[in-house]
Structure 1
């Protein structure tokens, strides 16, 4: 009897161990290089710190939409349908953003240009779009930064080519029909590069203060009870004495990890925090493929990684 019980315990342990191994997530970093002309690049990590480029750092998807045919700032999430959904910046001056979806991150749907700001005559751009899924409402929010000529004159500056961004959004359940465009965030300064995640019952927004005079160029945080806002005033900067942009965040256990592009230094940085107030600089602990620019981080399975690694 003791042998039978011992055998059953061993079998149970093996099953649990196998289940744990199958549940282990891999971190995937989507990014672009240079001006985004060659498309989507992907890298993976098992610890969320050391990243290795996939496909010899060649593009997984070449851009096809817009006059400029760029694929900058690729943001990929796993949707409520289990598929991967991606948006990106298609051009420096278009009023559209790019969209495509995939089941395996290798084979992608036809690329679509979503004309989010087409009705805004004074819109100059649509930059750094992102997607966040609201599981409770079973819908997606796509949001991006746009400068509309003549709006928000109180923060206008001739510097940075006169760009004066605010965050805008649209809602969709199927990426075919979209709600009217609305203002998502006006913090009283030139704002760009928002990324939003759920933390308990609240939504956390990481943003870049793009103010040029006097220069800010740093990252801040705002909160909301609803994905669509209203969001609180922005916090004090949590990045240091350097220009930062393109934050992407994820939870590693109890720790928040925020990656960002130290673009004037041509290097990446990372900060860690348990409470989103006190931050530790872990930039010396990370490594990414050479030339990595502005992207997003998500979790994938071991099997999905194997698919990505196939020749």
Structure 2
């Protein structure tokens, strides 16, 4: 029987301790209602790098019997600004490791970006059977050596390979469309890879404010096909930070989309990935203000352990 889902997330930089990691457990097997752990206070904090955490992404590393969480090394809520963050931000990601989802080692600051990167945002990792390694993807604005890093560059999706989340291969451009693309994440189903991102689609009128859906044959397929250009349009003003998961019972998938600056995460669901018929679940009760994070399906034992240890946190 499913143990439901664990949601890792952060809050707005305008909230006290907003840019730190929070956890919530789904109240049942589906992610329609949630209970925040630790009374809604941060479960994990960063005192390295920029001393803030955004965009936490949970990974079940079955090959090594552990869980890994990676996140953006960024703090905006201490007088920093987005202009600085996109031009002179962190070149590293934050990494935590755990054997049980309760006790965590870290954060460790791992450099993944090139010296010309202005930022390193929203890292995610997916196992590549072809490479037998994890592919870590993130968004960066790239600048030439000696450039004054003024306005005009755009966000590209970058990629680096790792076996252990301690050392990383040379970063390469994964996706450069000549305009902003951030927050790419994936679902694999039936040998097809579904990619979801915040893609401004070149500034086309009425496009790019919602979640962009594509399908390909592998993580590194150079020719993904568009299946939906505006997931969430009509139910949300704007969206980024998609988080996706399959229902452990099969036949259904879930998508959280971050209506940033407004309601935060909103829930969508579908029974047909190929048709991209995502239905808004307006009565879903998400943790208040929950923003860009990730969903991890749990076993009953994992759920019980999280609940048992919840009262032991600071």
CA distance 1:89–1:302, shift in 2 (3 Å): same
Q: What SS does the aligned partner of 2:135 have? A: strand
CA deviations over 1:42-92 (Å, ceiling 9, x no partner):
1111222111111111211111221x2111000001013231111101123
CA positional deviation for 1:211? 5.5
1:247 aligns with 2:242: yes
CA–CA distance in structure 2, aligned partners of residues 29 and 108 of structure 1: 16
Task: Tell me the residue number matched to 2:279.
Answer: 281
1:203 aligns with 2:193: yes
* Equivalent residue pairs, number: 278
Task: Tell me the residue number matched to 1:298.
Answer: 296
Contact 1:222–1:231 at 8 Å: present in 2 too? no
Residue 119 of structure 2, aligned match among 125, 141, 144:
125
CA deviations over 1:234-256 (Å, ceiling 9, x no partner):
44222204210110111122122
Q: Which has the higher helix share?
A: 1
User: What pairs with 1:1-311 in structure 2 (closer than 5 Å)?
Assistant: 23-35=1-13, 39-45=20-26, 46=28, 47-66=30-49, 68-80=50-62, 81-91=64-74, 92=85, 93-117=89-113, 119-121=114-116, 123-135=117-129, 137-149=131-143, 162=152, 164-210=154-200, 213=203, 214=205, 216-235=208-227, 236-241=229-234, 242-252=237-247, 253-276=250-273, 277-309=275-307, 310=309, 311=311
Any unmatched runs of 5+ in structure 2? 75-84
Q: CA RMSD in A?
A: 2.3
CA distance 1:267–1:72, shift in 2 (3 Å): closer
CA–CA distance in structure 1, aligned partners of residues 110 and 224 of structure 2: 29
CA–CA distance in structure 1, aligned partners of residues 293 and 161 of structure 2: 22
Contact 1:88–1:97 at 8 Å: present in 2 too? yes
Question: TM-score, normalised on structure 2?
Answer: 0.81
CA distance 1:75–1:188, shift in 2 (3 Å): same
CA positional deviation for 1:307? 2.1
CA positional deviation for 1:287? 0.7
CA–CA distance in structure 2, aligned partners of residues 265 and 176 of structure 1: 36
Q: What SS does the aligned partner of 2:104 have? A: coil
Q: What SS does the aligned partner of 2:303 have? A: helix
CA–CA distance in structure 1, aligned partners of residues 91 and 225 of structure 2: 28
CA positional deviation for 1:124? 0.9
Question: TM-score, normalised on structure 1?
Answer: 0.82
CA–CA distance in structure 2, aligned partners of residues 88 and 247 of structure 1: 14
CA–CA distance in structure 2, aligned partners of residues 231 and 181 of structure 1: 21
CA–CA distance in structure 2, aligned partners of residues 200 and 164 of structure 1: 33
Task: Tell me the residue number matched to 1:16.
Answer: none
CA deviations over 1:197-219 (Å, ceiling 9, x no partner):
21121222111113584462221
Contact 1:195–1:205 at 8 Å: present in 2 too? yes
Contact 1:37–1:63 at 8 Å: present in 2 too? no
CA–CA distance in structure 2, aligned partners of residues 164 and 291 of structure 1: 28
CA positional deviation for 1:270? 2.1
Contact 2:270–2:279 at 8 Å: present in 1 too? no
Q: Which has the higher strand share?
A: 2
